[in-house]
Amino acid sequence: MMGVSGTGKTTIGEALAKRLGWTFQEGDEFHPSRNIAKMTAGVPLDDADRAPWLAKVEAWISDQLAAGRCGVISCSAVKRTYRSAVVGGRDEVILVHLDGPEDLIAQRLNGRGGHFMPPSLLSSQLAALQAPGVVEHPIVVKIDQPVEAQVDGIVEALAERHVLRPAPTIPRGLRPLP
């Protein structure tokens, strides 16, 4: 799940993972404390700041793939080099780009609380954004529709690409082992 802050990566990522029975990982949890402090102070991250964070995102993806698990991770991944670092040329990693108008994103950022990313950094993220091109095979989702519609669109696109595996069925009344 990629896009600038405020596009709904966490909301859509969690809803998609729940729908598919996959694991969701909040990519922001991998930021070192110095990155969070920098962003909280309204200072944009540079490539050097992002490198250890992107390495942890990539490691999570690699671990999921090695274990044969499907998952969803949120990561702004605004530059092609960042996406290349986390995707690593693996066809089984699908980019979902959440995209929308600046005014809607700004409205969302101004309305949320408790997040370290201040609305003042939106312009720097939009300036850095290199929308994924055709060669990256992204699923592009417009954020100006309800969450359910966005998730439906992603699920349909994944099904068209034949990347969805059927979830195991558990007979009613039984619970999976922890």
Integer-rounded Cα radius of gyration of the chain = 17
Which residues lie below 8 Å from residue 72, measured CB to CB, with a gap of 6+?
Answer: 1, 13, 14, 16, 17, 20, 22, 23, 24, 25
Per-residue pLDDT reduced to its tens digit, 107-130: 888 876 666 666 667 788 888 889
Model confidence at 169: pLDDT above 80: no
Cα distance from N-terminal residue to C-terminal residue, the chain: 27
**CATH at 142:** 3.40.50.300
Beta bridge partners of 72: 24
Q: Does residue 171 belong to any structural domain of this protein?
A: no
Q: Does residue 167 belong to any structural domain of this protein?
A: no
Residue 117: the pLDDT is 66
Per-residue pLDDT reduced to its tens digit, 8-27: 999 999 999 999 999 999 99
Q: Does residue 168 belong to any structural domain of this protein?
A: no
Beta bridge partners of 46: none
**Window from 30-39, 49-58, 72-81, 120-129 with minimum mean pLDDT:** 120-129
Domain with 23, as residue range(s), is: 9-160
Q: Does residue 174 belong to any structural domain of this protein?
A: no
Residue 28's nearest CA partner among 50, 12, 46 is: 50
Q: Does residue 177 belong to any structural domain of this protein?
A: no
Q: Does residue 105 belong to any structural domain of this protein?
A: yes
Q: Does residue 176 belong to any structural domain of this protein?
A: no
Which residues lie below 8 Å from residue 26, measured CB to CB, with a gap of 6+?
Answer: 10, 13, 73, 74
Q: Does residue 170 belong to any structural domain of this protein?
A: no
Contact criterion met (CB below 8 Å) for 98 and 78:
no
Residue 38's nearest CA partner among 131, 124, 102 is: 124
Across the range 92-112, mean pLDDT stands at: 89
Counting the structural domains of the chain, the total is 1
